[in-house]
Amino acid sequence: MEINNNHIIEAFKDIYFKKETGILRAQNDHIKKHFYFIEGNLVFAHSNILSEKIGQIMIALGYISSEDLNELLAEKPKDTRFGTYLQNLGYINPIELMTALTQQIKKITFGTFKWNAFILDFEKNDNPVFKDLIIEIATPDLIIEGLFQINNAEMLFFNIPNHMNNTINKNEDESLHLPRGTLGAEETLLLSLIEEGTTLREVLSKSGLSYNNGLLSVYALYISGLISFAGKQWIESPAQEALTELPDLNNEDKVIEYVDQIYPKLYKINYYDLLCIEPDASFSKIQEHYDYLMDHLQPIYYYSEKYKTEKPNLKYIIDYYNEAFDVLSHPSARDEYNEKMKEGKIEERPHPDTQHHQEPVTQPVTKYSFEIHPVEAPSDSPHAIPSLEKMETTEMIPAPTEELKYAEYLYKLKKYNETLKALKNIDVSYKKESLYHFLMGATLSNYPDKSKESEEYLLRAFTMEPKNPDYLLQLGLFYKNIGLGIKAFKYFNEVLKIDPNNIVAKEALGLKHPLLDE
């Protein structure tokens, strides 16, 4: 069955209105989650993340201890559900079991709402889940509650091009309204400010709300069917030869044939045509096409010995794909690009034949001398890493290798397992670079049991480049995520000293978004 895959929230709404019964499968890299619906309402959810298992939820609610959990799991009969087993033993009562299951479903669901890259698949099934697992939760209320827990509201607007300058209309057709409880105060305020011809930028500016909270409330009204966006959704493409379908790249010869075909005219192709998407494409479509193209081009560039002479051309094309994805995957940058397209102000890139393709070079680096106090991993841990209490080097260190850049590319795609593999295979001489330590720390921060190692790597990168805003920002986010607010505050402030308009840092500190001041 086809469902709306612009965002998982919209898929939930689509299933609800169509009153579908079946299983929605969602995947983000190594994370897999299943959602079970009966006549449009979510009744159960399953995840392969340890913290979202029912035992961990029971611990968080204070029903059992970690020691209890290990003993109970060892003694539990195979054919008995864990919650039922605890209830039979008298650890919890039926109300507490229902509370724990409800909390589990919400934790699994709300975590998924924060994804900005995913694969969705819905399978119709008249009996999607065992009857004793069914929990009655109203899908509309679940959607709204989970929506307001999203930290980066911009990700919700990837499927609404030029959203800040888009005109908002009230939708009076009640058949399209999502049945839910009373509107929140912020939603009510925003609804009162919407008049004919009002843009999203104007409404948010008048409201006085913070950028993130304002966008979340607008999206809540949008997903509830109370408003719609009426602005121009299609932008004329100035490209002389538009590419509308992904090329067939199922072997190396076809990839090189494609490179030879596109390379001479690359300088006059806009970002949308380059990624073979329409100008109103959703973020998931942008991600899908970018991944497909790069997954076929990157391996040949990095590893193929057969096409050495083609590598300069491949490098030029890969750089252009990265440039296009960086712009189109960020709503504000995409809005600005769209405006330039409408005004015919997109400049042609320099012709590829005028570019000088250089191989990575070896260059001297500054002598580093620093001290840090790492949090030691247990000595018997397989992940224990050497302490760097003092490091000094004056040796020649090569510039970032293509392998290191490839690891950075994988990290940006949130392919964390693959990023770690790539980093571990890098030559030891490159492991002295700040980028290596940053990528290790940022990647490990996505694994709850690797927080100590993550912190040490991030601090190494920061000590090497104390004025790098990306390193400062990542440290701020790291400390915020583990609950050390004072430390996080310090690093976010340092980011703003270097980059006063940094969106993420300003939002983390509850400051107004610069776009609203225009």
SS3 128: coil
Amino acid at 127: N
Q: What is the pTM of this model?
A: 0.49
Domain boundaries, the chain: 8-139, 153-229, 252-354, 365-517
Amino acid at 324: A
Instruction: State residue 233's pLDDT score.
Output: 35
Instruction: State residue 369's pLDDT score.
Output: 30
In 3D, which of 508, 470, 513, 495 has the Cα closest to residue 214? 513
- DSSP letter for 32, please: E
Sign of CA dihedral 483, 485, 490, 494: positive
Under a CB-based contact definition with an 8 Å cutoff, are residues 41 and 138 in contact? yes
Tokens 């500190």 sit on residue: 509
Q: Other CB atoms closer than 10 Å to residue 217's CB: what's the count? A: 26
CA 109: distance to chain centroid?
15
- DSSP letter for 18, please: T
Amino acid at 318: I
With vertex at residue 421, the alpha carbon angle to CA 419 and CA 425, rounded to the nearest 5 degrees, is 115
In 3D, which of 311, 314, 310 has the Cα closest to residue 322? 314
**C-alpha–C-alpha distance, residues 5 and 19, integer Å:** 17
Instruction: State residue 514's pLDDT score.
Output: 39
DSSP per position, 62-96: TSS-HHHHHHHHHHS-TTS-HHHHHHHHTSS-HHH
344 φψ region: left (φ > 0), alpha (ψ -120 to 50), beta (else): left
Instruction: State residue 352's pLDDT score.
Output: 56
Both tokens assigned to 390: 């003092």
Instruction: State residue 273's pLDDT score.
Output: 83
Neighbouring residues of 91: CB distance < 8 A, sequence distance ≥ 6: 63, 64, 68, 72
Instruction: State residue 463's pLDDT score.
Output: 85
Strand-pair category, 119-124 with 41-47? unpaired
Instruction: State residue 383's pLDDT score.
Output: 35
The CATH number of 252-354, from 1.20.58.1290, 2.40.240.10, 1.10.287.110, 1.10.10.10, is 1.10.287.110
Instruction: State residue 500's pLDDT score.
Output: 82
- CATH class held by domain 365-517: mainly alpha
The crossing angle, in degrees rounded to 10, of helices 211-223 and 8-17 is 20
Amino acid at 8: I
Instruction: State residue 303's pLDDT score.
Output: 67
In 3D, which of 136, 135, 224 has the Cα closest to residue 181? 224
Q: What is the pLDDT along the chain (518 residues), one digit of tens a residue?
A: 566 567 899 899 999 999 999 999 998 878 999 999 999 999 999 999 989 999 999 999 998 888 889 889 889 888 888 888 888 888 889 899 999 999 999 999 999 998 877 788 899 988 877 766 678 788 899 999 999 988 878 778 766 655 677 788 898 888 889 988 788 899 999 999 998 778 888 888 888 888 888 889 999 999 999 998 875 333 333 333 444 467 778 788 888 888 877 777 776 678 888 888 888 777 778 888 888 888 888 778 766 777 777 778 888 888 888 888 888 877 778 888 888 877 777 766 665 555 444 443 333 333 333 233 333 333 333 333 333 333 333 333 334 456 777 888 888 878 888 888 888 877 666 677 889 899 999 999 888 778 888 888 999 888 888 889 999 999 989 888 887 777 788 888 888 888 887 878 877 776 544 333 33
Sign of CA dihedral 438, 508, 53, 40: negative
- DSSP letter for 30, please: T
Instruction: State residue 327's pLDDT score.
Output: 86
Both tokens assigned to 226: 């109370």
**C-alpha–C-alpha distance, residues 126 and 130, integer Å:** 11
Instruction: State residue 368's pLDDT score.
Output: 30
Both tokens assigned to 368: 């580093």
Tokens 């390379």 sit on residue: 263
Sign of CA dihedral 329, 335, 341, 342: positive
153-229: CATH topology is Arc Repressor Mutant, subunit A (1.10.10)
Stretch (H or E) spanning 25? strand 22-28
With vertex at residue 213, the alpha carbon angle to CA 210 and CA 214, rounded to the nearest 5 degrees, is 75
The crossing angle, in degrees rounded to 10, of helices 82-89 and 66-75 is 100
The crossing angle, in degrees rounded to 10, of helices 311-328 and 283-303 is 160
Both tokens assigned to 354: 């005028």
Instruction: State residue 360's pLDDT score.
Output: 37
